[in-house]
């Protein structure tokens, strides 16, 4: 795979006179160029004369489904890692955030990014219940469109999963310029799935990770204005399986269910690797000029599933839980506007912060009255982030898992709906095994506990 660094620009236009040639060279004007790729869809070059507002950056947001830090190269936890050359390259040419939180399950995370609000305000805090976004919410795509006076074209390709029922045209009604993908929460078979676009749903028999990539490549190729593409893969969400051989690096594994159930981790890794391969194909489909002008952001929507979680996480402290294994996710910023190369940033980040961060990255204005706190300055230089505490929440029918959590980066308080509480020093107790509420606490821990209680009360008021 070619390196993602951008080659030098080469001006190229139809020349009508020597004076015009000189003018073009002086202005640094260039025409878009296609790069070779294996995409089975048409990726025509943009117009030779894009509008002036095309100088705004593009934004590509890639959201993985069920991916915690234990399965991500570049993060310290997890003894085994998949081979992810595309994502490692992006991290080496950008910033890897080490204290990013999502919510324990996917629907509340997606809703918080879309709205810039915590679930306690939108009511979207669960998957099986309290999972329906209010159609009147001002979502991120509408903010992009309206703030830019229509300059930005927006899309969501892939998993939606913030609406109950069959209101298939809701994404467009709420402000998404183009929606195509999986409307619900998952698929039973990665090679046969329900595809929704233009308000209608059909059954597709293509491999979904490849198909979603094709859809993103096709949509991006059609754009002659700056674009914001939210690409929400279903991978590596269950069912665990062996992807097509060309997409992964796990070798010739048996594909029968008994083998997968006996040792699911390599199949989970193969699914992550298939995402990485297809993301590489998407990036290679962009012209050098388009790639240079594109901010690329990658994130997991919640922690690793319990069947494949690695030490220090255990099955009861993985996806779906308020422990670190359920909410600590990878986050990478790379590409346009990112000046830090191969660096780590340990500022506190919560998924809700992407709303205003994306707007600021696009040269637009962060919106007031939200929970979102932009951290865009951190992609250029290290320093103190604006966030004082991370916050996550989930609601379900299991009181010992339903509740909320808040952390200052070292100390972390979990409050369950059944009244039980946990308090950990996650900096020194990554597995969250020692509840500091039992026994004597240091002055620092006691002070942190008081502050965290107050911060949580302010968030939830």
Three-class secondary structure of residue 203 per DSSP: strand
Put simply, whether the predicted model's pTM sits higher than 0.75 gets the answer: yes
- Taking alpha carbons only, the member of 143, 149, 195, 201 closest to residue 174 is 143
> What's the pLDDT score for residue 40?
33
pLDDT of residue 382: 87
- pLDDT of 44 higher than 80: no
Average pLDDT, the chain: 89
Mean pLDDT on 117-138:
95
- Give the model's confidence band at 383: pLDDT under 50 very low, under 70 low, under 90 confident, else very high: confident
Whether 274 has a pLDDT exceeding 80, the answer reads: yes
Work out the pLDDT band at 156, boundaries 50, 70, 90. very high
Nearest to 154 by CA among 80, 60, 42, 244: 60
Lowest mean pLDDT among 52-66, 90-104, 270-284, 447-461: 52-66
Tell me the two tokens of residue 20: 């015009």
Reduce the DSSP state of residue 145 to 3 states and report it: helix
Q: Which residues make beta-bridge pairs with 416?
A: 403
- How confident is the model at residue 29, as a pLDDT? 35
Nearest to 279 by CA among 333, 233, 329, 332: 233
CB atoms within 10 A of CB 27: 9
Instruction: Give the span between the Cα atoms of 78 and 247, in whole angstroms.
Output: 23
- In this model, does residue 37 exceed pLDDT 70? no
**pLDDT digit string (tens) for 74-114?**
999 999 999 999 999 999 999 999 999 999 999 999 999 99
- Name the DSSP class of 192: B
Region for residue 181 given its phi and psi (left: phi exceeds 0; alpha: psi -120 to 50; beta: otherwise): left
Return the percentage of the chain with pLDDT > 70, whole number.
88
d(CA 125, CA 128): 10
For range 221-243, the mean pLDDT: 98
pLDDT above 50 for 439: yes
pLDDT at 251: 96
Q: Is the pLDDT of residue 272 over 70?
A: yes
User: Which of 159, 135, 134, 198 is CA-nearest to residue 61?
Assistant: 159
Query: Is the pLDDT reported for residue 33 higher than 60?
Result: no
pLDDT for 318 equals: 97
Structural domains present in the chain: 55-396 (3.40.720.10), 398-461 (no CATH)
* HSE-up of residue 47 (Cα within 13 Å, Cβ side): 9
- Verify cis geometry, omega within 30 degrees of 0, for the bond prior to 312: yes
Residue range 161-174: average pLDDT? 94
């Amino acid at each position: 795979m070619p390196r993602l660094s951008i080659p030098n620009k080469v001006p190229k236009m139809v020349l009508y006179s020597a004076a015009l040639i000189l003018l073009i060279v002086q202005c640094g004007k260039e025409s878009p160029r296609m790069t070779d790729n294996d995409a089975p869809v048409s990726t025509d070059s943009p117009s030779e004369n894009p509008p002036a507002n095309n100088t705004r950056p593009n934004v590509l947001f890639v959201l993985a489904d069920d991916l915690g830090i234990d399965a991500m190269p570049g993060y310290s936890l997890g003894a085994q890692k998949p081979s992810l050359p595309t994502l490692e390259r992006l991290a080496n040419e950008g910033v890897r955030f080490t204290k990013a939180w999502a919510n324990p399950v996917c629907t509340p995370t997606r809703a918080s990014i879309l709205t810039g609000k915590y679930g306690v305000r939108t009511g979207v805090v669960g998957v099986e219940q309290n999972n329906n976004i209010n159609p009147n919410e001002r979502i991120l795509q509408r903010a992009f469109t309206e703030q830019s006076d229509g300059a930005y074209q927006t899309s969501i390709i892939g998993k939606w999963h913030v609406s109950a029922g069959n209101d298939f045209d809701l994404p467009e009604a709420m402000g998404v310029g183009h929606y195509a993908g999986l409307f619900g929460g998952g698929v039973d078979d990665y090679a046969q799935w329900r595809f929704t676009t233009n308000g209608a749903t059909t059954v597709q028999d293509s491999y979904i990770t490849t198909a979603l990539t094709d859809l993103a490549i096709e949509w991006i190729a059609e754009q002659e204005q700056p674009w914001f593409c939210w690409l929400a893969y279903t991978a590596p969400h269950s069912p665990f399986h062996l992807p097509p051989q060309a997409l992964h690096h796990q070798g010739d594994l048996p594909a029968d269910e008994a083998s997968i159930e006996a040792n699911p981790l390599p199949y989970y890794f193969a699914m992550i690797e298939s995402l990485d391969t297809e993301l590489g194909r998407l990036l290679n489909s962009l012209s050098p000029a388009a790639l240079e002008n594109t901010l690329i952001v990658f994130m997991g929507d919640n922690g690793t599933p319990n069947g494949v979680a690695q030490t220090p996480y255990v099955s009861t402290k993985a996806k779906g839980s308020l422990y670190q294994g359920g909410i600590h996710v990878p986050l990478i910023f790379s590409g346009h506007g990112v000046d830090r190369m191969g660096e780590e940033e340990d500022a506190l980040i919560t998924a809700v912060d992407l709303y205003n961060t994306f707007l600021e990255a696009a040269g637009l204005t962060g919106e007031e009255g939200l929970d979102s706190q932009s951290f865009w300055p951190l992609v250029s230089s290290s320093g103190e982030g604006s966030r004082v505490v991370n916050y996550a929440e989930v609601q379900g029918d299991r009181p010992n898992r339903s509740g909320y959590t808040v952390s200052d980066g070292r100390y972390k308080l979990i409050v369950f709906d059944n009244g039980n509480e946990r308090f950990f020093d996650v900096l020194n107790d990554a597995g969250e095994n020692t509840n500091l509420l039992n026994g004597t606490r240091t002055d620092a821990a006691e002070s942190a506990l008081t502050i965290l209680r107050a911060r949580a009360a302010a968030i939830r008021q």
